[in-house]
A and B are shown apart, each in its own frame.
Chain A
Amino acid sequence: MKKNLIEVNNLEKYFEVSGGLFSRKKSIVKAVDNISFNIPLGESLGLVGQSGCGKTTTARALSLLDPKTAGEVKFYNNKTDSMESIDNLEGDELKEFRRNIQMIFQDPYESLNPRWTIKDIILEPLNIHNIGNLDDREEAVAEILKTVGLTPSENYLPRYPHELSGGQRQRVSIARTLIMKPKFVVCDEPTSMLDVSIRISIMDLMLKLAEDLEVSYLYITHDLAVARYMCNRIAVMFNGKIVELAETEELLSNPIHPYTKRLISSIPVPDPSYERIVYDINYDELDEIIAKHGAEEPMVDVGNKHFVATHDVKGLI
Chain B
Amino acid sequence: MNENILSVKNLNMHYETISGNVSAVRNVSFDIKKGESFGLVGESGCGKTSVAMSLVQLQADNAVISEGSIKLDGKELIGLSESELRTVRWDGISIVFQGAMNAWNPVIKIGEQIREAIREHYPENTKAQNIEKITELFSMVGLDQNIMDRFPHELSGGMKQRAVIALALSCDPKLVIADEPTTALDVVIQDQILNEIKKVQDLLGLSLIYISHDIAVIAEMTTTMAVMYAGSIVEMGPTDEVFKNPKHAYTRLLLESTPSVVGDKKKLRSLDGEPPSLIGDIKGCTFSPRCPEPTDDCKNQTLEMKLIEISNGHFADICCVNCK
Contact = CB atoms under 8 A, between A and B. Distances in A.
Asked whether the complex places CB atoms of A and B closer than 8 A, the reply is yes
Contacts of B240: 272-273
B191 A269 contact: no
Nearest to B255: A270
Nearest to B241: A272
A175 B309 CA distance: 46
B220 A50 contact: no
Interface in A175-233: 195-201, 204, 222-226, 228-229
A165 interface: yes
A228 B216 contact: no
A195 B214 contact: no
Contacts of B254: 196-197
A226 B270 CA distance: 14
A71 interface: no
Contact of B44 (A195, A229, A267, A278): A195
Contacts of B214: 196, 268
A228 B265 contact: yes
B236 to A, nearest CB: 15
Interface stretch (B13-21, B104-112, B256-264): B256-264
Interface stretch (A2-10, A115-123, A258-266, A295-303): A258-266
B269 interface: yes
Nearest to B290: A197
Contacts of A199: 257, 270
B260 A197 contact: no
A109 to B, nearest CB: 12
A167 interface: yes
A92 interface: no
Contacts of A222: 186-187
B36 to A, nearest CB: 14
A263 B187 CA distance: 7
**Most A CB within 10 A of own CB, among B213, B243, B269, B271:** B271
A266 to B, nearest CB: 4
A22 interface: no
A269 B260 contact: yes
Contacts of A270: 215-216, 219, 243, 255, 258, 260
A228 B259 contact: yes
A252 B259 CA distance: 13
Contacts of B187: 50, 222-224, 263, 266-267
Interface string A35-79: 000000000000000110000000000000000000000000000
A276 to B, nearest CB: 7
Contacts of A135: none
B274 A165 contact: yes
Interface string B229-268: 0000000000110010000000001110111111001001
B85 interface: no
Contacts of A198: 270-271
Closest 4 CB pairs of A and B: A200-B270, A197-B271, A201-B270, A268-B216
28 contacts: A51-B186, A196-B254, A197-B270, A197-B271, A198-B270, A198-B271, A199-B270, A200-B257, A200-B268, A201-B270, A222-B187, A225-B259, A226-B259, A228-B259, A229-B268, A263-B188, A266-B187, A266-B188, A266-B191, A267-B187, A267-B216, A268-B220, A269-B216, A269-B260, A270-B215, A270-B255, A271-B260, A272-B243
Interface of A: 50-51, 165, 167, 195-201, 204, 222-226, 228-229, 249, 252, 262-264, 266-274, 276, 278
